[in-house]
Amino acid sequence: MYRMKAAALLGIGVILLAAGAAYWIVTSHGFSARAEPSAIEAWVARHLRRLAIPAEARNAKNLLEATPLAIAEARDHFADHCAVCHANDGSGRTDINAGLYPPAPDMRTPVTQDLSDGEIFYIIKNGIRFTGMPGWGGEDEENWKLVLFIRHLPELTETELELMQGINGLEPPGEETH
């Protein structure tokens, strides 16, 4: 009986401590979207996202072939709709992304490249709650082409970047954007 009471008290203590810590974090750090999420927060968010994607969607295969035309069509689509936040090279180094919480990741890195094709497709189509990523809906074929292009991002050439810049006028990351 004594043990149960002690365990209950300990539980309540932990909850109160967590609530106090959350209160302290919010009141002392504010609600700025320009802050960098902590490593723990990012880890929890990514795992929750993974859990939230249905297994069937996660395992879906991209049946489109990565032809030069399919990649080029998706490149133009990406330049038109996605690059304003993700940047032409997928690095996420844009003015808008600098003010997002959490910011979109560098899609050339394992954070995105290690996702399955189905997961990337699901995220494009449905978005991610509590982030700046909207659910675009759209036609499945176009979304699967975008998956091909996202896979291609680590190998993007200067010529392709120039073609994208010709569409959206975005400055390459790292250069002055004002």
Partner 1 sequence: MQRRYLLTILLAGALASPLAMAHDPSKHKGKPIKGEVTAVGASEFTVATAKGDLKVTFSDKTKFERGDDRASAADLEKGMQVSIFGTVLGSGKEVVAREVLLAPAEGGHHHHPGGHMH
Give contact residues for partner 1 (rule: CB under 8 A): 68-69, 71-73, 75-76, 157, 159-160, 162-163, 166-167
Q: Which of 147, 139, 130 has its CA nearest to residue 82?
A: 147
Shorter beta-carbon distance to partner 1: residue 100 or 167: 167
Shorter beta-carbon distance to partner 1: residue 27 or 159: 159
Shorter beta-carbon distance to partner 1: residue 72 or 85: 72
Query: Min. distance of Cβ 149 from partner 1 in angstroms?
Result: 10
Shorter beta-carbon distance to partner 1: residue 72 or 100: 72
Q: Which of 112, 92, 109, 89 has its CA nearest to residue 158?
A: 89
Q: Among the residues of the chain, which ranges form H helices?
A: 2-29, 39-52, 55-58, 68-81, 83-86, 95-98, 110-113, 117-126, 140-152, 158-168
Please, which residues have CB within 8 angstroms of residue 54's CB and are 6 or more apart in sequence?
122
Query: Min. distance of Cβ 170 from partner 1 in angstroms?
Result: 15
Shorter beta-carbon distance to partner 1: residue 119 or 160: 160
Query: Min. distance of Cβ 111 from partner 1 in angstroms?
Result: 24
Query: Min. distance of Cβ 74 from partner 1 in angstroms?
Result: 10
Distances (CA, A) of 57 to 19, 54, 124, 137: 35, 5, 12, 14
Query: Min. distance of Cβ 151 from partner 1 in angstroms?
Result: 14
The DSSP line for 10-23 is HHHHHHHHHHHHHH
DSSP 30: T
Shorter beta-carbon distance to partner 1: residue 60 or 87: 87
Distances (CA, A) of 84 to 52, 68, 91, 95, 176: 26, 23, 11, 8, 15
Query: Min. distance of Cβ 75 from partner 1 in angstroms?
Result: 7
